[in-house]
């Protein structure tokens, strides 16, 4: 069977903010169904839907209280089945989030586990006695600030949580836990999903000896305590890789599906390769191009050239629900549509599987969410140093002249940025030079060229801010030269000796007397 995901384009839906079908201010599964025509028109191969499972919503769905049911906020299991069927009718694959590292503290498993030290699920979570001085067992830090341990007065022990205290970590050293998680996977595989996105996939196991992490040797004035440690013992344990293989075997029994890991690690590329070598997961993405900046040719080249494995397959994204939108993060508050289109064109020329976050196809900037409207517990905790993740999670603008940009008939859970009205879908649909129109063209261009979808990538030396690379597919014999100007001034690049044909890529670049002329934020693809 065809490896549909290899080199494919997958669109991430954050359901709370995609489309509200019932007017309660929160997006839902029927809302996604109502927009399947839109997703199909983008030309993407599949859709990844962020968590929609039962949850107290302390972390907006990443704190799950029932892995095998839909939260009423989003609909019902019947609504999910309708979404799955509708996606397949539109020739779209459907990939769903799976959050295995931790549950909600309202999950029945945790309620039973915390009830005593000798119940059947007593060892399903990471519990530890206090030190003689009453403190936690080690120095591990939560990503959301403070200790990664909370005291439970019923068990008179600490439990571990890499994130919120309401998100206790499962104990994957317990075979019963691993089997329970595999049963969750089997539940959704039996319903017919096309794959899983695995949240914090390298966080499942921790050191069974609970050894403290050493400090980082450098002293960089890190903004958060978490980054002061070398995370040797609270994540990326060798046992984690064995479970990836076990999960992959289970997935492979159900056909040509995909598994994509989210990897959080200081060793961005090396860790991603480790998780996607043969027999493990199909692919993985990391935060190298989601967190770092500024945007330079060196940054992109370093990320892609660091992926040295011949057998592991990469994935890339510039934005998602956890980071500043790339238009603002790399371009600043004044970045224009040309910059947004440059980013989309560049992303869709990279080697790997491509993930487009909802709103990127519209060129949305990071939304301005005032403090009093913040919802993200991370943003509230670290304000004013960080406004958290709410600014990239605001509703999609569908109709520019409607209240709430047509997302909802009532005030949505997060406000719609006033700038987003002008970028609404209905405003861009009829504009042939809009970012939406360019995105559709770029996706179609990628699908039409095997060198872009499946070919190798070789970088060519060029002065900043020019990024130059070849994409070549041996089976078809196609060779493309991709050129991008990551700067605000026109650039001229002398093409290698040979005959080059402009591929009409849709960006403002041209060939002139053997040179590529690249306008500000322009790009060009030529065929050799």
Q: Which two tokens stand for residue 390?
A: 């709410």
Q: Identify which of 351, 326, 344 has the alpha carbon closest to the alpha carbon of residue 507.
A: 344
Q: Please name the helix (run of DSSP H) or strand (run of DSSP E) that holds residue 69, with its range, or none.
A: strand 66-70
Q: Identify which of 270, 185, 277 has the alpha carbon closest to the alpha carbon of residue 236.
A: 270
Q: Identify which of 165, 136, 162 has the alpha carbon closest to the alpha carbon of residue 236.
A: 162
User: CA-CA distance, 443 to 439, in Å (whole number)?
Assistant: 6
Q: Please report which residue ranges of 70-229 form alpha helices under DSSP H.
A: 77-89, 108-113, 175-191
Residues with catalytic annotation? 199, 262
Strand partners, 481: 470, 526
Question: What is the CA angle 496-8-460, rounded to 5?
Answer: 20
Q: Which residue has the tokens 């019932």?
A: 22
Q: Which two tokens stand for residue 380?
A: 């509230």
Q: Identify which of 432, 408, 405 has the alpha carbon closest to the alpha carbon of residue 420.
A: 405
Alpha carbon 203 to its chain centroid, in Å, reads 16
Q: Which residue has the tokens 């490896």?
A: 3
């Amino acid at each position: 069977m065809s490896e549909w995901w290899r080199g494919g384009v997958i669109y991430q839906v954050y359901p709370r903010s995609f489309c509200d079908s019932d007017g309660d201010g929160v997006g839902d599964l029927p809302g996604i169904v109502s927009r399947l025509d839109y997703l199909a028109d983008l030309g993407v191969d599949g859709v990844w839907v962020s968590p929609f499972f039962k949850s107290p919503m302390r972390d907006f769905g990443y704190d799950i209280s029932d892995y095998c049911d839909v939260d009423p906020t989003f609909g019902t299991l019947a609504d999910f089945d309708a979404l799955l069927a509708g996606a397949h009718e539109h020739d779209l694959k459907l990939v769903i989030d799976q959050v295995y590292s931790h549950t909600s503290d309202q999950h029945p498993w945790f309620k039973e586990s915390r009830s005593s030290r000798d119940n059947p699920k007593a060892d399903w979570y990471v519990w530890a006695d206090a030190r003689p001085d009453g403190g936690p067992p080690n120095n591990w830090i939560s990503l959301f600030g403070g200790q990664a341990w909370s005291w439970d007065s019923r068990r008179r022990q600490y439990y571990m949580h890499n994130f919120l205290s309401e998100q206790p970590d499962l104990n994957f050293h317990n075979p019963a836990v691993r089997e329970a998680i595999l049963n969750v996977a089997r539940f959704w595989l039996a319903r017919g999903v096309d794959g899983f996105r695995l949240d914090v996939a390298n966080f499942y196991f921790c050191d069974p000896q609970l050894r403290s992490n050493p400090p980082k040797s450098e002293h960089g004035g890190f903004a958060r305590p978490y980054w002061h440690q070398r995370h040797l013992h609270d994540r990326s344990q060798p046992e984690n890789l064995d479970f990836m293989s076990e999960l992959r075997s289970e997935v492979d029994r159900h056909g040509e599906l995909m598994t994509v890991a989210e990897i959080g690690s200081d060793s961005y590329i090396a860790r991603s390769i480790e998780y996607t070598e043969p027999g493990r997961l199909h692919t993985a993405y990391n935060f190298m191009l989601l967190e770092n900046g500024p945007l330079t040719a060196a940054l992109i080249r370093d990320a892609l050239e660091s992926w040295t494995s011949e057998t592991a397959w990469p994935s890339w994204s510039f934005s998602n629900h956890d980071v500043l939108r790339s238009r603002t993060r790399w371009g600043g508050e004044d970045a224009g549509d040309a910059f947004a289109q440059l980013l989309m064109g560049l992303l869709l020329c990279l080697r790997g599987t491509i993930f487009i976050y909802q709103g990127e196809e519209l060129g949305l900037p990071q939304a301005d969410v005032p403090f009093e409207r913040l919802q993200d517990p991370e943003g509230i905790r670290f304000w004013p140093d960080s406004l958290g993740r709410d600014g990239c999670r605001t509703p999609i603008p569908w109709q520019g002249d409607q209240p709430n940009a047509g997302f909802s008939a009532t005030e949505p859970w997060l406000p719609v940025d006033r700038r987003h009205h002008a970028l609404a879908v209905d405003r861009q649909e009829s504009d042939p030079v809009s970012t939406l129109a360019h995105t559709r063209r770029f996706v179609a261009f990628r699908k039409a060229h095997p060198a872009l979808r499946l070919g190798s990538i070789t970088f060519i030396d060029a002065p900043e801010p020019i990024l130059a690379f070849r994409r070549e597919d041996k089976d078809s014999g196609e060779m493309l030269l991709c050129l991008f100007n990551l700067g605000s001034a026109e650039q001229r690049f002398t093409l290698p000796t040979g005959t080059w044909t402009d591929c009409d890529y849709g960006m403002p670049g041209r060939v002139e007397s053997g040179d590529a002329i690249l306008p500000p934020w322009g790009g060009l693809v030529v065929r050799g």
